[in-house]
Amino acid sequence: MNAPTPAVDYSRLFRLDGRTVVVVGAGSGIGREAAQALAAQGAHVVVADYSPEGAEATAALIAERGGVAEAYELNVLDDDAVEAAAERFGTASALVFTAATNVRKRMDDYSMDEFDRVVNLNLRASFQLIRRFGRRFADNGGGSIIGFASIRAQVVEPGQGVYAATKAGLVQLAKTAAAEYGASGVRVNVVAPGVVETPLTGQIRANEEWYRAYAEKSALGRWARPDELAGAVVFLASDASTFVTGSTVSVDGGWTAIDGRFTPPA
């Protein structure tokens, strides 16, 4: 006989009161918006970033709005620093990481130093964050890990090869971690944005033709704002997603859903 389904208070489905969430890359861009959204739902947010100034600025924004946050300097390329962060915040309920870089060059023009720079930040650091926090979350009864992939994990263009490879790799790392840590209550998912107005896309935004072409490719006919990614993060960090793991949540304005090259007359 099945046990009765417990009553769910849907009014609190997205609330994070009494929980700590670590947001890596929260000093600017999508990470900053996600940190503010999580704090607005009651979370104690650890604002982690390579830039202590950026982390402090985000923590101050949260405090101004009545939220609770602490700034934490973290270089995700430093294995010892990642291990220390996981040790200190291993009892958190969720980890979010957004840090990434890109070198837009065709493959023939790439230096191996550039290759290493992109792979180390986008993939190697993600691997370290997932497994260091994943193990501690598992030991503490569960948690949610949320990474940031990209539409480039699915579709590419010239000059995006290495970046796309790292994002596709992150998707597969998340699926593997979901399988390995799932029995211990750890959920691992990624958010896949389309084109977002952040410092990482500055080169495109500086070219009006390029900028407009990207806007017209999406079903909504525009770029995303960083704050439009925050809802997906809150969803994945909260009890609204307790049966979601190993998934990619696309927040791309329909970019990967449509062809986009031509609108037929009928």
Order of strands across the sheet that contains 94-97: 68-73, 44-49, 20-24, 94-97, 143-148, 186-193, 248-251
Catalytic residue, chosen from 50, 72, 110, 163, is 163
For residues 100 and 231, what is the distance between their CA atoms, to the nearest angstrom?
Answer: 20
For residues 257 and 32, what is the distance between their CA atoms, to the nearest angstrom?
Answer: 28
Q: Is the dihedral of CA 217, 225, 23, 41 positive or negative?
A: negative
Amino acid letter for position 107: M
Token code pair at residue 216 = 């017209």
DSSP labels, 192-234 = EE-SB-SGGGHHHHTSHHHHHHHHHHSTTSSPBPGGGGHHHHH
Task: Write the secondary structure of 25-64 as one string of H (helix), E (strand) and C (coil).
Answer: CCCCHHHHHHHHHHHHCCCEEEEEECCHHHHHHHHHHHHH
Active site residue 181: no
Catalytic residue ranges = 163
